[in-house]
Amino acid sequence: MSRPKNDAFLRALLKEPTDFTPLWMMRQAGRYLPEYCATRKRAGNFLNLCKSPSMACEVTLQPLARYDLDAAILFSDILTVPDAMGLGLYFAEGEGPKFERPLREEWAINSLSAPDPYDHLGYVMDAVSEIRRALNNSVPLIGFSGSPYTLACYMIEGQGSSDFRHIKGMLYSRPDLLHKILDVTTQAVISYLNAQIDSGAQAVMIFDTWGGSLSASAYKEFSLAYMQRIVAGLKKEKDGQRIPNIVFTKNGGLWLEDIAAIGCDGVGLDWGIDIGSARRRVGDKVALQGNIDPNVLFGTPETIAAEAKKVLDSFGPGNTGHVFNLGHGISQYTPPENVTVLVETVHAHSRTLRK
Ligand code: CP3
C-alpha cells in the first residue's frame, strides 16, 4: 500500500521534508457546517450519526470538500469506548454527553472489562474502512481515542464537570480504584486504536482533554503513565508504512518535556503556549501540532491571516516537524468562510518560509 497523494501530514509528523506546512482542524466536521447539521438531522441525533458508518463517512468528507485540508479525521466520539464498556452513553439535547450508569461503586469497577473493538465498536471499524475507500488515497485518515484519564473523567462524573470532584475524590481517597479503571481503559484504548490502524487509520491521536486539570505529580501518575503504555502498545507500522501517533494534553504546556519523552511522534499544543518556545524545549525529539486560538476565526480576514502567520513564524525556519492546527476544537459558531482564509494563509505563507 502506498502513501496518499498528499502525504505532507504524515511526512511532517515523521520529520521528513514537506513543501508547505500541512493543516487540519480539531472538530473539522461539526456544527459550524450547514451540511453537517443537515446530515445530523437526517440521522436523528449525534449518536446515531456516529453509529452509522455511511453517515459518519459522509460527514468526515464534508470539510475536505470545502477546504484544502491535508488530513481527514474519523468522525466519531471519544465516549464510544465507555459506551461499549456498558455505561450507557446518551446526549441530552443541548447538554453534552451523559452516562446512564456512572462508575462509582467498587463492585462495578471490579467488573469492568475491555470491549472487543470488532464486536462492540464494529461500527467504528466499518466507518474507518468506508472512509479510507472514499478518500481514495487523496489525504491520510487520522484515527483517535480519548486518554484513559479523560475517559475516566466522564465515566466517573457521569457527564462533563467544572470541578471533577468525583474523580478527584476517588484519586485522593481510593487511588487503587482509579488505577483499576485506568488500567482496564488503557487495555481498551490499545486494542481500539490498533483495530482502527488495521482497518485503515494512517495516524492516530490521543485526546487528553482533562489531564491538564491535575497537579504535576498526579498528571504523571494518572494520565501520562497510561498514555505512555498506550504509545508503547500501538502498532507502529502497517503494510510497510509508519503509523505516527500524536498525544494532546490540553493545558499540558507546563509538562511538555515529560510528554515529549513518552515515545510519541507528535505532541499537540493548545494556544496558551508559544509554539517557538515549545519547539526550543523539545528540540527535534517530536513533531508539534497546533496551535492557533480557535476564536481567531471570529476575526477579520486580515487578523486571521496575521495570526496564522504569527504561529508559522514563531515555529520558525525548517521544512518539517510542524502540523498546523487549532489549539482546541473549532467553535460551532465559526463563520465557515473564515476557515478558507486560514487554510490558504497557512499553505501560502509556509511555502514562502521554505524559500
Ligand atoms: O475532530 C473531528 O472532527 C472528529 C470528531 C470528534 C468529535 N468529538 C465529534 C463531536 C472528536 C475527535 C471528538 C473528541 C471528543 N469528544 C473529545 C476530546 C476532544 C475535545 O474536544 O476536547 C471530548 C472531550 C469529547 C466528548 C464530547 N463529545 C463532548 C464534551 C461533546 C459536547 C460538546 C459540544 O460541542 O456540544 C461531544 C459531542 C460532539 N463530538 C460533537 C461533535 C461534532 C457535537 C455534537 C453534535 O453534533 O451535537
Cα separation, 153 vs 159, in Å, equals: 8
- Residue 67 is among the residues annotated as catalytic for this protein: no
pLDDT of residue 355: 73
The number of beta carbons lying within 10 Å of the beta carbon of residue 140 is 28
Please name the fold of domain 8-354: TIM Barrel (3.20.20)
- Would you give per-residue pLDDT tens digits along the chain (355 residues)? 689 999 999 999 999 999 999 999 999 999 999 999 999 999 999 999 999 999 999 999 999 999 999 999 999 999 999 999 999 999 988 889 999 999 999 999 999 999 999 999 999 999 999 999 999 999 999 999 999 999 999 999 999 999 999 999 999 999 999 999 999 999 999 999 999 999 999 999 999 999 999 999 999 999 999 999 999 999 999 999 999 999 999 999 999 999 999 999 999 999 999 999 999 999 999 999 999 999 999 999 999 999 999 999 999 999 999 999 999 999 999 999 999 999 999 999 999 998 7
CA neighbor of 307 nearest in space, from 266, 345, 255, 264: 345
What is the reported pTM? 0.97
| Catalytic residue from among 40, 132, 229, 279 | 40
Q: What is the residue-wise DSSP string for 189-209?
A: HHHHHHHHHHHT-SEEEEEES
Task: Look at residue 307 and give its three-state secondary structure.
Answer: helix
pLDDT of residue 2: 80
- Residue 3 is among the residues annotated as catalytic for this protein: no
Cα separation, 349 vs 355, in Å, equals: 11
Cα separation, 139 vs 18, in Å, equals: 14
pLDDT of residue 92: 84
Q: Which of 78, 151, 204, 227 has the most ligand 1 atoms within 8 A of CB, as the residue to mutate?
A: 78
User: Could you state, in order of their start, the residue ranges of all structural domains in the chain?
Assistant: 8-354
Q: What is the residue-wise DSSP string for 129-142?
A: HHHHHHHTTSS-EE
Interval between CA 77 and ligand 1 midpoint (Å): 6
Q: What are phi and psi of 180, to 5 degrees?
A: -65, -45
Cα separation, 73 vs 24, in Å, equals: 9
pLDDT of residue 1: 65
CA neighbor of 205 nearest in space, from 243, 154, 170: 243
